[in-house]
Chains A and B, each alone.
Chain A
Amino acid sequence: MHEALLELADDHLILGHRLSEWCGHAPMLEEDLALPNMALDCIGSARTLYARAGELEGAGRDEDALAYRRGERAFRNCLLVERENGDFAQTMLRQLMFAAFMEPYWHAALGSTDEAVRGVAGKATKEMGYHIRHAGEWVIRLGDGAPESTLRMGRAVEELAPYADELFASSAAARAAEEAGVLPEREALRPAWEAVMSDVMGQAGLAWPDDVWPQTGGREGRHTEALGHLLAEMQSVHRAHPGAAW
């Protein structure tokens, strides 16, 4: 069970970390405030999920042991969230793709048999609804904006489309949690995800490519080259001082 929660926690931490990289470097001050806000939502959910995963594992690992003392092959996040930020178009599309999946996911998880999961779900459904609105509005503005933004948004779709499918795939650990009623079934959320995406993409004047070769492997710890660099940076201070408290 704890492994299924780790997958979810890793998704949220890695995406939160990526979003936090924008802080102070966004295209406008309002986004310098919005991006850390979304990052905080993701990191907040990750913390509760790590704590619960550690508790279920029963090996005495707390949130920091799980976040800072596992190597990249032990991380179980989907590949979408570890993708480098790229430009603002890619960051917003990535956020929309993730939130359009997680919003119905957390909504379904409100009925989880696990209290901690229900707790995260209660908070995260609202947050992900906001992320859909925020990122979705940007995808529309950029897609249906000026020639350069339309071009960049089109490229973002091409770049990120291969990473959509992995969202709907359940690992063996996730399937066990789904059968136990702890987590919702991933594949069942496809229609809800497609409804949000096609609405936004339609308003943005964008089309999803037909022949996409899905990229997967994150749930088995086979990541893109980007994750190792992210972890090397994120874990550097913590790992340089074994046993220290912060």
Chain B
Amino acid sequence: MYSQGLIGADGRSEETPEFLAAFQARIDAEEKIEPKDAMPEGYRRTLIRQIGQHAHSEIVGMLPEGNWITRAPSLKRKAALLAKVQDEGGHGLYLYSAAETLGVTRDEMTEELLDGRAKYSSIFNYPTLSWADIGCIGWLVDGAAIMNQIPLCRCSFGPYARAMIRVCKEESFHQRQGYEIMLTLTRGTEAQKEMAQDALDRWWWPSLMMFGPSDADSQHSDQSMAWKIKRFTNDELRQKFIDATVPQAEYLGLKVPDPELAWNAEKNGYDHGPIDWDEFWRVVKGGGPMNRERIAARRKAWEEGAWVREAALAHAEKRAARTAVAAE
């Protein structure tokens, strides 16, 4: 699960105009760029940054949902949530592998995540406070991720585009599963209905922020659009998401927490109230409710697992040495 809002990519390139023009011609002809192909450094750096952020988002995203695995209220939900969180980890693994084809290692990317140089989707810096949050994450967060990732299936970089095809299938399953949790809650007891509304109240605005800054303030869009890493602008995707999601909320009998939300027949879409961009930037820069806890949890797992990884390496070396001796 992840959405755009790529932050801090350096798309500058120093190649010759002829090289850049030839590269652009391949992009314009909808050819896929493969890892061994010549590519502008800016293209490579942008993709490493974007795929890395995407991978980190999958990994950090395991934490807020993992928070409810041990308390899932039925065995069926427990098994489904475990499988879902495991899927997210699997997405992280593919994506790290896709990024590695560009000449960066998973360990390097992990270090960047742990020391704060690499970003991940800010949505995971909000806490999961009730079981209904698990429904909302599937419905809204994975729903927003799908809006972004469907176009990424046509991204110009081959390994990323191919990874997205499988990821999208799984995310779409997660989204339906999340919506089904919400449906069960809203057809349930009064307490369950309140839980569902409260979760929507808390997750709605952060979900809209997942699409990144509004087009007027988005620095990287133009180059990424030209390179066909990105196919739609942040605001276009956000609008698609709102238009698809508002009727779903109505069907659940829930109220979207935006008093200015109104159907606009002229544009054939919803108008919405202002997004609190101060909150968005505060959370991106580390001031969200869970930024510290999320990174601390990843760091703890990494540091406490160091002896395991060292042992695996030491054992492999011992084994190789024994095989070499036996072969002599």
Name A residues whose Cβ lies closer than 8 Å to a Cβ of B.
13, 17, 20-21, 23-33, 36-37, 39-40, 43-44, 46-47, 50, 63-64, 67-68, 87-88, 140-142, 144-146, 148-149, 152, 233-234, 236-238, 241, 243-246
Contact = CB atoms under 8 A, between A and B. Distances in A.
Contact of A149 (B59, B66, B310): B310
Given A27-B309, A148-B311, A40 B79 contact: yes
B62 interface: yes
Contacts of A149: 307-308, 310-311, 314
A44 B188 CA distance: 26
B89 interface: yes
Contacts of A152: 307
Size band of the B side of the interface?
Answer: 35 or more
Contacts of A140: 315
B59 A29 contact: yes
Centre residue among B70, B93, B106 by max chain A CB count within 10 A: B70
Contacts of B66: 23-25
Interface stretch (B30-38, B80-88, B211-219): B80-88
Ranked 10 nearest A-B pairs via Cβ: A27-B305, A145-B311, A149-B311, A27-B308, A24-B62, A24-B66, A146-B314, A36-B86, A141-B315, A237-B73
Nearest to B90: A33
Query: Chain B interface mostly helix, strand, loop or mixed?
Result: helix
Contacts of A20: 69-70, 78, 82
Given A144-B318, A246-B77, A23 B131 contact: no
Given A141-B315, A144-B318, A145-B310, A244 B192 contact: yes
Interface string B54-82: 00000100110010011111111111001
Contact of B71 (A28, A43, A50, A234): A234
B206 interface: no
